[in-house]
Structure 1
Amino acid sequence: MGTWGTAIKDSDAFADIYSEFFDLYNKGGQPDIISKKIVDDKWEILEIEEEKNSLWFALALAQWETKSLDPKVLSTVEEIIISDADLKIWLDLGASEQYIKKRKIALEKFLEKIKSDRPKVKPRKREKLKTPIFAIGDCLVFKLTNGNYGGAVVLATDNNPETGYNLVATTRLNQNNKPTLKDFENAEVLICNFGQWKDKVDVTWYMPDLFYKDYADSYEINGNITVELEYEIKNYDGKGYLFKPSWTSGWSMNYSAERQFESELTKPKPSKILTIKQLTKKVKWLKVF
């Protein structure tokens, strides 16, 4: 499962499906052919209880925006929402009553939206060259629902104009005051054991596509620290790294942190510890003569 917020778009699975649909649509693809390709290619998501609904929600919204909503997809989404099947998944994952209420409202508004008539088809966009949102070493601050500040550190950039990813490590910062550079340098990396995660290090390559539209208001840069290590985007398995990276277009570091901290109210935090220093500083060995 990727990171989640209560809004329909606030899951990595949704963001990835929605982004892929419009990547193909903007290149001239037909909605029905794109939809079939996505279902065929992403069939494994439909076998993951925590993520399968996000596929149908993303597909339904993309089809609605292109005035091609398949009645079968609409029926599937309607059944998921009316039966409270999605809310049951959240309950099973230990979501709080507050989260459940917010999610229910979001689901009902979403169903109402896609059952309405969209005035016109969303126009295709010209493909633009992509650049990473942030620079290596940028320290990102975000607010948590408890009123505290959380944070993340940018470890790498991908300068391929077709992708433009940033590699970001979410931290365990959770404090009253806005984090200083020293706080970031001394922070632990967020390791997730909520839901189905088992000590998953939260270090992810984030696509730039949806940032300014859906996530820019959630994050601000609060300085920059030195990153001495280099990370390669083609190292899919994280060989030689202290983590295995993930990929997504949903910038949901804040929700990932919130879900983990909420989970720790009823279960132990992961015993594994990883620090920002370990991911940014080269080990300096003393020479023995």
Structure 2
Amino acid sequence: MGNGLGRWGDDSKALAKRKEVLNKFFNKIAKPKPKPSPLPRLIVRKAPFKAGDCLSILLDDGRYTAALVLRADNSNPEYGKNLVASLDYLETAPPSLAFFELRRWLIKTHGNWNNEQDISWYQTVRFKEASKRIRIIGCIDVWPSDPNDSRFYSGWISLGTQITLCRAHAAKFS
């Protein structure tokens, strides 16, 4: 002990206080811990939907849009996620199950999206507050030709917002 105390050498009060603090610390770590801390409890949050679920989303303005769940990934038990594709639907009534079979993917035409499909991974984080406006209309088969991945992650609260942005952009140019 004593290494690194050179900077306190000029002030004997500061040196004494530093030695006291160091001794207290060394005494604390010299004793073995009586019981190790328990591991944090694992909170399992599975993906809320299964592949093929047809979702109706109520927007703030009272209109409905649609989305199709393409995959459910529960490989990380704490953070399950769904791959969801938005459909080109914006009406005053919820979509019918037959509409989902048409697979009219929403193409993002606004901003710098370069006509990409609106497909994102949605994790379970903050799903509860968004779930109040999401309803399952039914379930259909996911086709092998359907998209199966995305480089984007979104929050459930934003599900359905891209359709209004696309429609506003289209209205500007019509």
| 2:166 counterpart letter in structure 1 | Q
User: For 1:229, which of 144, 147, 157 is the aligned residue?
Assistant: 144
CA shift for structure 1 position 209 = 1.6
Paired residues of 2:55 and 2:134 also in contact (CA < 8 A): yes
Matched, 1:188 2:104: yes
- Please say if residues 173 and 187 of structure 1, whose CA atoms lie closer than 8 Å, have aligned partners that are also in contact: no
Equivalent position to 1:154, from 61, 69, 76: 69
Q: Distance in 2 between matches of 1:185 and 1:199?
A: 22
Q: Is the CA contact 1:193–1:200 (under 8 Å) kept in the aligned structure 2?
A: yes
Decide which of 123, 130, 137 is 1:215's aligned counterpart.
Answer: 130
Consecutive unaligned residues in structure 2, runs of 5 or more: 1-39
Aligned equivalent of 1:130 = 45
How far apart are the structure 1 equivalents of 2:62 and 2:125? Answer: 28
Aligned to 1:237: none
> What is the count of residue pairs matched by the alignment?
134
Distance apart, 1:247 and its partner CA: 1.6
Q: What is the CA-CA distance between 1:250 and the residue it aligns to?
A: 4.0
Letter of the structure 1 residue corresponding to residue 43 of structure 2 = K
Q: Secondary structure in 1 aligned to 2:167?
A: helix
Match in the other structure for 1:39: none
Cα distance change on mapping 1:266 and 1:242 into 2, 3 Å: farther
CA RMSD in angstroms, aligned pairs only: 2.4
CA distance in 1 between partners of 2:155 and 2:120 (Å): 10
Q: Is 1:266 the counterpart of 2:135 in the alignment?
A: no
Aligned equivalents of 1:163, 1:260: Cα separation in 2:
30
Residue 174, structure 1, aligned to residue 80, structure 2: no
Q: Distance in 1 between matches of 2:154 and 2:92?
A: 29
Normalization by structure 2: what TM-score? 0.67
Identity %: 28
Q: What are structure 1's unaligned runs of at least 5 residues? A: 1-124, 232-240, 269-289
8 Å contact kept, 2:56–2:136: yes
2:161 aligned residue = 255
Paired with 1:209 and 1:230, the residues of 2 have a C-alpha distance of 29
| Aligned-pair CA distance for 1:129 | 1.6
Higher strand proportion (structure 1 or 2): 2
Residues 250 and 181 (structure 1), Cα distance of their counterparts in 2 relative to 1, 3 Å cut: closer
In 2, the alpha carbon distance for the partners of 1:244 and 1:151 equals 18
Higher-helix-fraction structure:
1
Could you tell me whether the CA contact under 8 Å between 2:54 and 2:66 is conserved in 1?
yes
Structure 2 residue identity aligned to 1:185: E
Instruction: Work out whether 1:163 is the aligned partner of 2:69.
Output: no
The answer to whether the 8 Å contact 2:83/2:150 transfers is no
Contact 2:87 2:103 in 1 (8 A): yes
Counterpart residue type for residue 160 of structure 2: N
Assess, with a 3 A threshold, how the Cα gap between structure 1 residues 210 and 145 changes in structure 2: closer, same or farther: closer
Per-residue Cα deviation, 1:163-195 (whole angstroms, up to 9, x for no partner): 211000000012233211111111411111212
Structure of larger gyration radius = 2
SS at match of 1:151: strand
For residue 243 of structure 1, report the CA deviation from its aligned partner.
7.1
Task: Indicate if the aligned counterparts of 1:156 and 1:230 stay in contact, CA closer than 8 A.
Answer: no
Partner of 1:142: 57
TM-score by length of 1: 0.42
* Equivalent residue letter for 1:260: C
Deviations 1:3-50 (A, max 9, x none): xxxxxxxxxxxxxxxxxxxxxxxxxxxxxxxxxxxxxxxxxxxxxxxx
